Structure 1
Amino acid sequence: MLLTSIDPFFQEFERQFNRLTQQAFDQSSAVMPMDGLRRDDDVVLRFDLPGIDPDSIEVTVDRGVLSVSAGREEEIGENERLFVRERPMGTFTRRVYLSEHLDSDQIDAGYANGVLTVRIPVLERAKPRKVEIQRGEAGEAKAIRA
């Protein structure tokens, strides 16, 4: 039996993740792999950025789009010649579309051990809540009258 989640946060991130993976030829996503975690009060995104100078990392939010940019500069000395290049150089950008249920005004980020962690709080109105059950003669919900 297959169980599926109806968590709208998970569905939105899954949709965006699938869209981004379809852009497999976009080098920046290959350079900046990401994990996304949904927790009760927030969403956490972790970006692998090994060998990146923390001063080159920039996280911005504009109209519901989180952009992460980072750069890796050439490290070749005066008396050195490059004979193999497998590490990409330059500036890399990764964009993630944020759900309207997230509080983009309260985003925070930290960088440690080559991993950038971005935490995005869930808006209070979007958090799960318990619905009070009304007790009456027929056990029906009260109708709202305008």
Structure 2
Amino acid sequence: MTMNLDPFRELDRLAGALLGSTGPRSMPLDLYRTGDHYVLDVDLPGIDPGSVDIDVDGSVLTIRAERTLGAPEGSQWLTRERQPGTYVRQLTLGDGLDSERIEAGYDNGVLSVTIPVKESAKPRKVAVTTGGGREQLAVGTGE
């Protein structure tokens, strides 16, 4: 039996457990293109939708969410695997995306962000001319 040991991950885990780390955390996501837009699905189970914040600054899309966990007064934690804290994810948007028309929705613990492609970046047909158009091309190439 082989074991993969990442000493840095173990140190981070131990330091977080001992120090009660409250730093930013990552969130898993899927990204796919469908038609003329991209869809970003981010897992945020147990997150209050009111705590989700999405910002676009230049070409950087930032998603931030806060998870708070509480137990009724007088309760004693037996195990605590769901970590409270701030979750942050940043993505760089390409030039061909329309950051002005980004939309987002939250359903069943999944945040879906729709990022449309700019009109100028969409595939388009190029007209092919015959006859006079060919002569113009020949003049432009020095023939």
TM bucket (normalised to shorter chain) is 0.7 to 0.9
Matched, 1:70 2:58: no
Give the TM-score, by structure 1 length: 0.73
Q: What is the letter of the counterpart of residue 39 of structure 2? A: V
Counting aligned pairs with the same residue, the percent is: 46
Contact 2:52 2:64 in 1 (8 A): yes
Give 3-state SS (helix, strand or coil) of 2:77's partner: coil
Contact 2:38 2:114 in 1 (8 A): yes
Which entry has the higher C-alpha Rg, 1 or 2? Answer: 2
Distance 1:133 1:76, change over 3 A: same
Give 3-state SS (helix, strand or coil) of 1:142's partner: helix
The aligned runs of 1:22-61 (5 Å cut-off) are 28-29=25-26, 32-61=27-56
Q: What is the letter of the counterpart of residue 28 of structure 1? A: R
Aligned to 2:97: 102
Q: What is the letter of the counterpart of residue 111 of structure 1? A: Y
Give 3-state SS (helix, strand or coil) of 1:28's partner: coil
Aligned to 1:79: 74
Segment of structure 1 superposing worse, 72-81 or 132-141: 132-141
Segment of structure 1 superposing worse, 132-141 or 78-87: 132-141
Per-residue Cα deviation, 1:37-78 (whole angstroms, up to 9, x for no partner): 112211110101011101110111001111101111121221
Give 3-state SS (helix, strand or coil) of 2:25's partner: helix
Matched, 1:116 2:111: yes
Question: CA–CA distance in 1 between the matches of 2:28 and 2:51?
Answer: 17
Per-residue Cα deviation, 1:6-26 (whole angstroms, up to 9, x for no partner): xxxxxxxxxxxxxxxxxx989
**Unmatched segments (≥5 aa) in structure 2:** 1-8, 13-22
Question: CA–CA distance in 2 between the matches of 1:138 and 1:68?
Answer: 50
